[in-house]
Amino acid sequence: MTTATIPASDAPRPLLAGAWMMGAVAAFTSMAVAGRAVSLELDTFEIMGFRSLVGIAIVAAVLTLRGMWSRIDLRNRRLHLTRNIAHFTAQNLWFYAIAAVPLAQVFALEFTSPLWVLVLSPMLLGERLTAARAIAALLGFAGIMLVAQPGAAPLTWGLGSAAAAAVGFALTYIFTKKLTAVTQTACILWWMTVTQAMLGLFFAAIDGDIALPSAQAMPWIALIGAAGLTAHFCIASALRVAPATVVMPFDFLRLPVIAVVGLILYDEPVGPMVIAGAAMILCGNSLNLRAAAQKPGRVGG
């Protein structure tokens, strides 16, 4: 995710930023619960297709009400497509993972996305890998080893999917950063929902059978679509009123919140290795944020 430097004339409002981030935490958590609920009757491609149709309706309504259709254009098609394929792949892997492994493990591995951005940015964005960023990345990958416990616990497709999703989200952030330099956010969101609806329904139809959501699943699908857009809107709103170094630590609350939700709703215990690994991943992210705060006008990842 990219952020903008807060102008000197605009004093940061950490309490307001915190309130926006609590909205993002609630949205991400509800999307995980809803995704697990519909996974019983829909595959990940069907979830993505129907979720994106909901997203199209929401974005179209906002564009119409705010008279913003003029911001939608067909420039930068290749960059839009690359970003949306990366995000589509990552989101499919994420939906598969939340149905296959404990939610706390999925979220812990998802938090490695900013650390993958550190590793991939020198190659894709030409950014320098500093010593602080290298240490942050190493801490994060050590945390991955504790969460996944290779050798001590069987590696499953669910864990592999969660780890791969983190790489896909990192690529999404990088290509989003490129796009925000040349186009409007509304244009990015519109082509994201349209592209992912087409991809989801195309892959869902390959076997000749697209399962339509039941009446019981429809509210969950609507929640997934609305929650995804709401989460990113809340994060963007928080970043408009406070620096990334204030905003992003609030995002770390997603991990303990989803651990409690997993324990209450699904009786998923959180082991000490998951806690220790998550702590190392969060320390790596915090180190990157602190290093970025020391460089005016720039933010990590």
Asked whether the CA dihedral 184, 189, 194, 200 is positive or negative, the reply is positive
Mean of the pLDDT values across residues 154-163? 86
Under DSSP, the state recorded for 153 is B
Residues written for the chain: 301
Q: What are 218-227's pLDDT values in tens digits?
A: 999 999 999 9
Q: Which two tokens stand for residue 31?
A: 């999307």
Give 98's contacts (C-beta < 8 A, 6+ positions apart).
32, 35, 36, 39, 106
SS3 150: strand
Q: What are 87-103's pLDDT values in tens digits?
A: 999 999 999 999 998 89
Q: What are 234-277's pLDDT values in tens digits?
A: 887 887 787 766 676 777 778 888 888 998 999 988 778 778 88
Q: Where are the domains of the chain?
A: 14-293
